[in-house]
Structure 1
C-alpha cells in the first residue's frame, strides 16, 4: 500500500470515528449539561444522585456488577489453576466446552432461568417431589425483585472472560518464583496466597474489569426479568420521553463516567504491570499428572461447571418444545407448534429478515474499514498508526447502551445527522451501529492474518512490476482470507444478536431485529415466552454454528479476542 493510500485510509477512519463514535458521545454529554436555552448546568447530573429512583438504579447496577464479578472469580480462578497446572482426562475438550456460555446469548438464557428457578419452576417441583419443600409455600429463588436471577445469568455468561485472562496470567507466570518460595519453606497454600495470587493480579483485574463493566451496563438480561431498578433499564424506559426530559442523557453520562473510571483505574494500577510479575517464564512449566481418582474429579468439576452454565439455555430449549410446563420438573407434553407459530408470527419473519439485512451490510462495511486499519497498522510505518488501531478498538471499552443512546441523540430532529433516520426508518443508523460495535473483532482478526504473512511476498510482487495495491489484492488478501472470514463470521454472529442497539434504535415493529422480537414475545401474554424460546433456540443454533466456524479458522487465537 502506497503512503498516500495509507494516509487516505487513516483519514477516512478518523472521519468515520469522529462522526459515529466521538460525536454521538459528545452529543449525549452536551445534552446532559445543557438547559433548553443552551446554558451550561449541572442540575440534571446532580439530580441523578439526588433522585431516589435514579440513585437506587445506580446502586443496584453496582451491586449486580460486584456480585457478578465475585461469582465469576469464584468459578474461574479454580478452573484456571486446574487447567494450567494439572493433566486430567478430557482436558483439551473440557477447556473448549467451559467457554461455551460466552457465545450463547444471555438474554435468551434468562428465559430459561425464569422457567427453572421460578416459584412454579422445575427446581421447586423437584424439591417438592423429594419431600424437601412444602408445596403450599414454594421458595422464591429469584427474590421479589429478581436481582438474584440477573446475577446468576450474568455469572454463568461472563465467567469465561475472567477464566481466559486468569489462565493466560498463570501460563505466563515464571515457575521459578514459586519454586524459590517452596525452597524457603512455604506451604502450597502460602505460595498461592503470597506469591502466585499477587503476581497474577493484573490478569485477574483485567478480566474482572471487563466483567464488572459488562454486568454494570447490561440491558438485555434485566429487561427479560422485567427488572426496572437498574440504570440501563431506566435509560431504556425513558426513550418515549426524550423531547422534554434531559435526565436520560444525564443517566447515560453518569454510566459512561463510572465505566470509564473503572476502566482507567485498571489501566493505572495494572495496565503497565506484566501479568507474569517478572517477564515471560524463564523455564517451561511442567503440568502435573494427577492420580486417576483426582484426575477424574477435575474432569467432573469442569463438566459440572459447563453443565450448570448451559442449563439456562437447556431450559429455553425445553420451553420451546413444552406444551405444558408449570409446576413440574420436566414438561408434561412436547410439541412443535411453537416453532411453527414463531415462524408464522407477523413479527418473527420480518425480524429475521431485518437482522440478516442489517448484519450483512454492516459486516461488509466493517470489513472494508477493518482491512484498511489492520494493514496500515501492521504493514506501514506512518505516524499515528497505533492511534488508528486504538481508535478502532475503543468501541469495546464503551458500553453498548451509551453508544446506542448517543446514536439516538445525534439523529434527533434538528441535529446534523437527523437524515440518517428517514421516515422513521432506522436501517442506516442500525447498520452503522452494528459496524462500529463489531469492528474490533475484524481488526484483530485481520491484524493477526497480516502478521502471519511475510511482507517479502508483497515486495517480490512489486519487484516484478505490480503496484502496492495490486500486490495487496492479488497476494496478501488471499493469504489472510481465512482470518478475514473468521473475523467476519464472529462479527456477523454477534451483530445478529446485538441487544443494546437493537432495543434502543429500532422503535417500530416493522424494523425489529431478532433480539427486539424475542423481547417483544417474552413480554406478550399467553404463549409468548414459548414463541420467544423457539426463536431463541434458532438464534442459539445460528450463533453456535458461526462461532464454531470462526473457531476452526482462528484456532487458539479466538480466545484472545475476549481477553
Structure 2
C-alpha cells in the first residue's frame, strides 16, 4: 500500500515540485517561484483564486449553518423530503451548470428578458449581471454547488452535541442568540472547519467554471493554458507548487486547530436531543426557506435542461421552440459516444483499484494494531486536500520521455494514467465508507469463524465483507460517479479527442459553434441523471453517515 501511494501520489507531486526548483542544467533555484509572486499576471491569478475561495466559503457557511440548525433542532412540514434533496446541487458538475447560468443571467438571458417584458429594464442597455470580471458568476456557481458539503458536516456535528451544555447556559439566563454565539458555534467549529476546508480548497483550485466563464485570471486556468508550452517551461510547475503550498497549509491549519473533531462537550451526546415542533406558520416559513435554497441551487440544472431542449434560446424568458434532437445527436455524435465509452472504461477500472486499496487500508486501520496504520489512513485521505490539478500535473511530469513512469503512456493513450489518477482521487470515499462498515461489525464474528476452522482470509471473505457490503457499495457508487465526472485529471491528461472522457467532451462541445452548447447541455443532463441515481442510492445505503465521506 505504501509503495502504491509512494509511486502514484507522493512521487508525481515530488516530480512536479522538483521541476519548479530546477534550472535546465539541474541546479537548485528559487527563481521560478519568485517569478510567480513578482509577475503581476500570476499575482492577480492567485489573488482572484483566494477571493473566489473566501467568498465561496462564506457563502456556503451563510447557507449551511441556518439549514443545519433548522434540520437538527426543529420539526416542520416536509423536513425529511427536503433533507433528502440536500445533495441535489452536487448531481451536476459546476462547469456544466455554468452553461445554464450563462443562459439565464447573460445580457440576453432569461432574467433580463423577463425584466424587459415587465418594463423594468431598457432593451438598449441590458444589465451585465456578471460585469467584466465574471467573478460573481463563478462564486454563485461554486456556492450553489458546494454548500451541501458544509451542510453535511455542520449538521452531523450539531446532532452529536450534548444538549446539556446549551441547557446549562439557558438556565443561567443566557438568551438564545447569545447561546448560539457563545456556546453552540464554538462547539460546532470542528464541523465548520472540516467542511469549510474542503470547500475552500475546492473553490481555490476550481478549473471548470472559470474556463466556461472565460475568466482567465485565476491560477488554475493559467496552469491549464500553459499545457501547450510545457517543454522547457518551468513556470507552470512553479504555479502548481504555489497552489499546492497554499492548499496544504490551509488543510494542515484546519487539522491542527480542529483535527480532533471534538470540542469540550462535543462528540457523542450523553442525552438525546428533542426536536421542537414549530407552530404551523413558523414551520411553513422554515419549509419555505429550505425549499427556496434548494430551488436556487437547482436553477443551473434547470437552465441546462432548458438549453438541452431548446432550438434557439436567445433574448426570451423561455425557449420559443423545443426539440429532442439534441439528445439524439448527443448519443449519436462521434465525440460523445467515444467519451461515454472512455469514461465507463476509465471509471470502472479505477473503481476496482479503489475498492482493493480502500478495503485494505480500512481493514488495516480498524482491525489491526500494525505500526503506521494511522499514517496509512492519513495518506489515503490526503487526495481530498491536494488539488486535482496538482496531481494531474505531477503525472504529466513523471511520464515525460526519459522519466521512470513514461511507460504509463502507451502511444497517446492515457488509459493507465487516468485509471490510476481517478482511483487515487476517489479513494477517500471508499476508505471512509469501508472504515465505517468495519467499525460497525464486531471482530468477534471473525474470531468465531476462525475458531470453527476458517482461515483469516476466508473469514474476511465469507463473514466480514458481506456484512459491510452496503457501505462498500455506497462508497463505490460515489467513487465511480465522481470519477465519471472528474474535471481536472480529464482536462489535463486526455489530450487526443479519441481518448476524451465525458467532461473533456462536454468542454469541447461548449467551445463548438452551432449547436455545440445544446449538445453539451444534453450530455450534461445525461450525466446529471446518472449522478442523481448514484447519490440517491448511496444516501439510502449510508444514511446520516454520508457526510463522513466529505471530511
TM bucket, shorter chain: over 0.9
Which residue matches 1:390? Answer: 378
Q: Does 1:34 align with 2:26?
A: no
Q: CA deviation at 1:324?
A: 1.7
3-state SS of 1:194 partner: helix
1:128-177 deviation digits (Å, cap 9, x = unpaired): 11111111111111121211111000000111111122222222233233
Which residue matches 2:443? Answer: 455
Which residue matches 2:228? Answer: 240
Cα distance in 1 for partners of 2:179, 2:192 equals 17
Scaled by the length of structure 2, the TM-score of the pair is 0.97
Which residue matches 2:214? Answer: 226
Cα distance in 2 for partners of 1:414, 1:476 equals 45
1:249-398 to 2 correspondences below 5 Å: 249-272=237-260, 274-275=262-263, 277=265, 280-398=268-386
Cα distance in 2 for partners of 1:145, 1:543 equals 31
3-state SS of 2:330 partner: helix
Mark the runs of 5 or more structure 1 residues left unpaired by the alignment.
Answer: 1-12
Q: 1:77 to 1:234 in 2, by over 3 A?
A: same
Which residue matches 2:525? Answer: 537
Structure 1 segments, 4+ long, off by >3 Å, are: 275-283
Q: Does 1:511 align with 2:515?
A: no
RMSD between aligned alpha carbons?
A: 1.4
Cα distance in 1 for partners of 2:34, 2:285 equals 54
Which residue matches 1:52? Answer: 40
Cα distance in 1 for partners of 2:488, 2:535 equals 21
Contact map agreement 1:65 1:215 (CA 8 A) in 2: yes
Contact map agreement 1:200 1:276 (CA 8 A) in 2: no
3-state SS of 1:35 partner: coil
1:29-178 to 2 correspondences below 5 Å: 29-178=17-166
Q: Does 1:17 align with 2:5?
A: yes
Q: Which moved more, 1:143-152 or 1:465-474?
A: 465-474
1:293-312 deviation digits (Å, cap 9, x = unpaired): 01001001111100110110
Q: Does 1:525 align with 2:476?
A: no
Cα distance in 2 for partners of 1:322, 1:343 equals 17
Q: 1:29 to 1:291 in 2, by over 3 A?
A: same
Which residue matches 2:545? Answer: 557
Cα distance in 1 for partners of 2:176, 2:432 equals 38
1:484-518 deviation digits (Å, cap 9, x = unpaired): 22221111101100101000000010110000000
Which residue matches 2:460? Answer: 472
Q: Which moved more, 1:387-396 or 1:471-480?
A: 471-480
Cα distance in 2 for partners of 1:203, 1:461 equals 39
Q: CA deviation at 1:278?
A: 5.0
Cα distance in 1 for partners of 2:182, 2:120 equals 43
1:86-109 deviation digits (Å, cap 9, x = unpaired): 110111111121232133321211
Contact map agreement 1:339 1:534 (CA 8 A) in 2: yes
3-state SS of 2:311 partner: strand
Mark the runs of 5 or more structure 2 residues left unpaired by the alignment.
Answer: none
